Amino acid sequence: MHELSIAQSVVDIVLQHVSADEAHRVKAVFLKVGDLAGVVPDSLEFGFTAITAGTALENAKLRIERIPFTIRCLRCGATSTQEIGISICAQCGSLETTTIGGTELHITEIEVNDPEETS
């Protein structure tokens, strides 16, 4: 389950951007995960919860936005969302396409509570 190592990387990145003294204030970590990224979102959430249990990040939630597999046709310029493995232009039927979405795997935001909100 490589999602566990990805979850650990997410924790490491969060701790690079939030001081150890303020880590308990992290409310949520927002990720974009593409359908082609090879990540099972439920497994990633489980791994994140397991890794952060008993730590300052224990109450932080992982918020995952799934990004669909999207292509652009090099012939007609149309873009379309596709099923994984189908790279045929929905507009003109061309096989000359390029992937423009669905490979993402990155943190987009770290939400932190105001100091008055934490106890």
3-class state of residue 51 by DSSP: helix
User: pLDDT band for position 97 (50/70/90)?
Assistant: very high
CB-based contact 44:7 (threshold 8 Å): yes
Residue range 95-111: average pLDDT?
97
pLDDT 10s digits, 25-83:
999 999 999 999 999 999 999 999 999 999 999 999 999 999 999 999 999 999 999 99
Rg of the chain over Cα atoms, rounded to whole angstroms, equals 18
Query: Does domain 3-112 match CATH 3.40.350.10?
Result: no
Share above pLDDT 70 across residues of the chain, in percent, rounded to a whole number: 97
State the Cα–Cα distance between residues 22 and 117, nearest whole angstrom. 12
Q: Which residues on adjacent β-strands are paired with residue 97?
A: 73
State the Cα–Cα distance between residues 102 and 68, nearest whole angstrom. 5
pTM: 0.85
